[in-house]
Amino acid sequence: MTTILSDLDEGGLVARGEAGGEPSWLLDRRRAAARRFVGQAWPDSHVDEFWRSTPFDVRFDVGRAIAAATAAAEAPASVLDRVEGGGVLVRVVDGALVDVTAHPDATAAGVVAMDLGRAAVEHADLVEAHLGRLTTSGDGTGSDEDRTVSLSDAAWTGGVFIHVPDEAVVDVPLSVHVHVATPGAHLPRILAVIGRHARATLYLEHTSAPGVDALVDEVAEIVVLDGATLRLASVQDWGDGVQHLGLQKAEVHRDATVRSLAFTAGGATVRLRPEFDLVGPGAEVRPLGIYLASDGQWFDLQPFVRHIAPRASSDVLFKGALQGRSRTVFRGNVFVGRDAVGTATDENNRSLILTEGARADATPFLEIECNDITAGHGSATGQIDARHLYYLRSRGIDRDTALRLIVRGYFTDVLEEAGLPGVTEHALDVIERRIADADLSAIQVNDLGLREES
């Protein structure tokens, strides 16, 4: 069954859910979300504060049908292929969970990785308690969701449920690989629950077949319970025809730690929202980002950290490189609620403009209702420093090689800190490929420092 996004059909949704054996509470939620959807309009960039930087109607085409699952579509390699010993891989192709590759370590630790619809029956306690809780709550932790999220709540397909039990230590990565092979709208949905004092690594991979035009409206809810440690990565490797709306929201409980990397290199338009609600005292998040934008690409990156509980800390760092006629927006939001005494927060964004015509905007945004905190923010947009280039060339290294070393070096600190097996190697390859494809003769160099030196 296909449904036109602009005219979501409640009856059709429920019929599809029933056919899939979804429990009644889930059907009720789909129904309620469909009604919210009907009552909402698509985001209006003239009105909506969070849409101001990216014209919704220009960059996102909602006049599409929801893509139906196709048989045996091949997905490209996962970053797990680069991890010695592999990991748990869940493949979602065209809105259907295709297969799950288990790993003995994860199985022994009791890790669950399965279809979300089935989990709504088999793990009803966890799924009913958490699914949609981070997208719809009205108690101050909800993010005032717009129609793009109501759409997911109502009509998601190809859902994945991940559960890491309390105190399980899982060193092999768990990856959800979403692959788009068919044109149309895709609504992947992920729910992950990381148990108390557990340790896990979770990847969200995104790829598409060459030449496919698609809209991907993705919601991931990640609950990180007391004392858990999560390393998280989202890798955007879309082809040129994909428009991606991504809400990846983590709820971080007492003394839990999340270190995340949003690696964005592919897609025509990517609007990514890595969000973190720090709801337990002592919670700690380190949201990192790397983006590589080339001609025609538009990335709108909106990390959002909400300090709800006291003595939590957050430190956001996003770094990007742009070339050609590309555009990036960094809107880093930090909210510190009135009970969040002892908060420590910082957010930083740096963009490297490689060639003329690229544009990077940065808006760090802080809203603070509490006095007893430390907060910082900063942003910088610049070009390659001619002093670096000269130093390397004075040692016999030719210009192109020197530029490669410098651009790669620019991302080294973030990649080393993220330290994600498979993702790091993949990211380095993508960076190398982008530089190799670049017109190095067009790269602009800032010689201000050079002149001051002379």
Q: Which listed residue (353, 392, 431, 435) binds another protein by CB under 8 A?
A: 392
The rounded distance, in Å, linking the Cα atoms of 360 and 325 is 11
Q: Which listed residue (380, 391, 419, 436) binds another protein by CB under 8 A?
A: 391
Asked if 377 interacts with another protein (CB under 8 A), we say no
Asked if 48 interacts with another protein (CB under 8 A), we say no
Asked if 211 interacts with another protein (CB under 8 A), we say no
Asked if 431 interacts with another protein (CB under 8 A), we say no
Asked if 441 interacts with another protein (CB under 8 A), we say no
**Interaction mask 249-288, another protein, x per CB under 8 A:** ----------------------------------------
Alpha helices in 70-110 (DSSP H): 104-108
Asked if 429 interacts with another protein (CB under 8 A), we say no
Residue 392 vs residues 56, 355, 401, 417: alpha-carbon distances, Å: 43, 20, 9, 25
Write down the least CB distance from residue 451 to another protein, Å: 6
The rounded distance, in Å, linking the Cα atoms of 439 and 219 is 36
Asked if 394 interacts with another protein (CB under 8 A), we say yes
Q: Which is nearer to another protein, 272 or 415 (CB)?
A: 415
Asked if 454 interacts with another protein (CB under 8 A), we say yes
Span of 135-143, 223-231, 369-377, 405-413 interacting with another protein by CB under 8 A: 405-413
The rounded distance, in Å, linking the Cα atoms of 97 and 114 is 8
Span of 1-9, 225-233, 293-301, 386-394 interacting with another protein by CB under 8 A: 386-394
Task: Yes or no: say if 328 and 271 are a contact pair by the CB < 8 Å rule.
Answer: no
Asked if 35 interacts with another protein (CB under 8 A), we say no
Distance from chain centroid for Cα 8: 25
Write down the least CB distance from residue 263 to another protein, Å: 16
Asked if 118 interacts with another protein (CB under 8 A), we say no
Q: Which listed residue (122, 372, 417, 453) binds another protein by CB under 8 A?
A: 453
Task: Yes or no: say if 439 and 219 are a contact pair by the CB < 8 Å rule.
Answer: no
The rounded distance, in Å, linking the Cα atoms of 112 and 163 is 5
Q: Which listed residue (317, 388, 418, 423) binds another protein by CB under 8 A?
A: 388
Q: Which is nearer to another protein, 88 or 384 (CB)?
A: 384
The rounded distance, in Å, linking the Cα atoms of 406 and 388 is 8
Tokens of residue 308, six digits:
């709800």
Q: Look at strands 96-101 and 269-278 and give their pairing.
A: unpaired
Q: Residue written as tokens 């009913």? A: 128
Span of 172-180, 186-194, 265-273, 409-417 interacting with another protein by CB under 8 A: 409-417
The rounded distance, in Å, linking the Cα atoms of 431 and 436 is 9
Asked if 430 interacts with another protein (CB under 8 A), we say no
Span of 48-56, 76-84, 88-96, 397-405 interacting with another protein by CB under 8 A: 397-405
Buried b (16+ CB within 10 A) or exposed e, 296-332: ebbbbbbbbbbbbbbbbbbbbbbbbbbbbbbbbbbbb
Asked if 401 interacts with another protein (CB under 8 A), we say yes
The rounded distance, in Å, linking the Cα atoms of 304 and 298 is 19
Write down the least CB distance from residue 382 to another protein, Å: 12
H helices, E strands: number in the chain:
12, 23
Instruction: Give me the residues that bind another protein (CB under 8 A), please.
Output: 385-388, 390-399, 401-402, 405-406, 408-413, 447, 450-451, 453-454
